[in-house]
Amino acid sequence: MDCLFCKIAAGEIPSQKVYEDAQMLAFRDIEPKAPVHVLLIPKTHLDGVRALTADNAAVVAHIIAKIPEIAASLGVTDYRVVTNNGAAAGQSVQHLHFHLLGGRTLGEMG
């Protein structure tokens, strides 16, 4: 499958990793929207939130449970976690990812 984030997860495309384990990877967004802007992805391919089912969603719990540790390692205590789902919502990469944004005051969501 020709998926950018699968290639990043496999190490075929370089990234600035901030955390990695068997199930997930966290790396810095190439166009950061905040001083801290990292992407949290499952290593296995899922198109996005709309691909989630009771059978494949355990990795999401794992990713979310790791956020406090990853945020602390990046020096932020206040942060936003966002996932875009579908083009009209701003999803440009069709591999499930959570944006972790912090390091500045974040305005209202639009």
Q: Annotated active-site positions, please? A: 97
Backbone angles phi, psi at 24, to 5 degrees: -145, 165
**Residues in binding contact with ligand AMP, number by CB under 6 A:** 12
85 touches ligand AMP by CB under 6 A: no
CA 88 – CA 102 distance, rounded (Å): 24
20 touches ligand AMP by CB under 6 A: no
Q: How long a stretch of residues is the chain?
A: 110
87 touches ligand AMP by CB under 6 A: no
CA 99 – CA 2 distance, rounded (Å): 21
By CB under 6 A, name the binding residues for ligand AMP.
Answer: 4, 13, 15, 29-31, 39, 84, 90-93
